Homo-oligomer: A and B are copies of this chain.
């Protein structure tokens, strides 16, 4: 084994911040203000600071980019990218994080979020800077998989939500329509997935719906499988 020092890297964290707005699965992007890729859309992110662990940097960047404070975001590591030529400035490794937010109004004035905007996730990619299209694709696939096996969908919703809102999350992220009656049966029947609050909410039209909160389960068993 060769003695140190070795190759030196800069370590960054890139965020794939996802939400569901209306019927659309959207991701938060920023327009780059510096070279390289000046003017191109990219995932928000930044470099680690002294004393920070990866998750610390991800939480900090998320707060900076969204301008939202005090939220309890769902954050999960996706994977790490370190190809020698992925950044023309030198050797930069980036750790991708998947962040899930409910559809919140975002403050934009006077923050980093001023240059941030939501874009619908399209298959085929969005023409992002660096290898961010690939990172986005990996994160989206991870989100789709996590919807099957974990209560991740509740992170797209506010504290209290209806079954229809939860179903809209699955439909938007998976990109498939689901039968409302079968989905209702499965979602309310899965142990620990959702718990009723006893309250009701009247949508703009139609019968009022019961409200639920996220349940104690950390995994869905059996999983809610995507249709073939």
Contacts of A1 in B (CB 8 A): 33-34, 46
**A interface: dominant SS:** loop
- CB-CB contacts below 8 Å: A1-26 with B: 1, 4-11
Which residues of A from 206 to 228 have beta carbons under 8 Å from B? Answer: 221-223, 225, 228
A174 to chain B, nearest CB (A): 14
Q: Which of B77, B93, B225 contacts A93 (CB 8 A)?
A: B93
Whole-angstrom CA separation of A47 from B123 in the bound complex: 35
Q: Say yes or no: A84 contacts B9, CB within 8 Å.
A: no
B-side contacts of A77, CB under 8 Å: 79-80
Expressed in whole angstroms, the minimum distance between the Cβ of A48 and any Cβ of chain B is: 6
Q: Chain B contacts of A5 at CB under 8 A?
A: 10
Residue A54 at the B interface, CB < 8 A? yes
Instruction: Tell whether A82 is near chain B: CB-to-CB under 8 Å.
Output: yes
**This chain's copy number in the assembly:** 2
Out of B7, B10, B11, B225, which one reaches A48, CB within 8 Å? B7
Categorize the interface residue count of chain A: 35 or more
Are the CB atoms of A10 and B10 closer together than 8 Å? no
Given A1-B34, A228-B221, A82 and B7 touching (CB < 8 A)? no
Let me know if A168 is at the binding interface, CB within 8 A: no
Q: Complex formed: what's the CA distance from A34 to B33 in Å? A: 46
In the complex, whether A181 has a CB less than 8 A from a CB of chain B is no
What CA separation (Å) do A210 and B222 show in the bound complex?
Answer: 32
Candidates B33, B53, B79; contact of A83 at CB < 8 Å: B53
B82 touches A53 (CB 8 A): yes
A-B contact pairs, 22 of them (CB 8 A): A1-B33, A6-B47, A6-B48, A7-B10, A7-B48, A7-B49, A8-B9, A8-B10, A9-B10, A9-B11, A9-B48, A11-B82, A11-B93, A50-B84, A52-B84, A53-B82, A54-B81, A54-B82, A77-B79, A80-B80, A82-B95, A93-B93
Other than A7-B50, A54-B81, A79-B79, give 4 A-B pairs with Cβ distance below 8 A. A5-B10, A77-B80, A80-B80, A80-B95
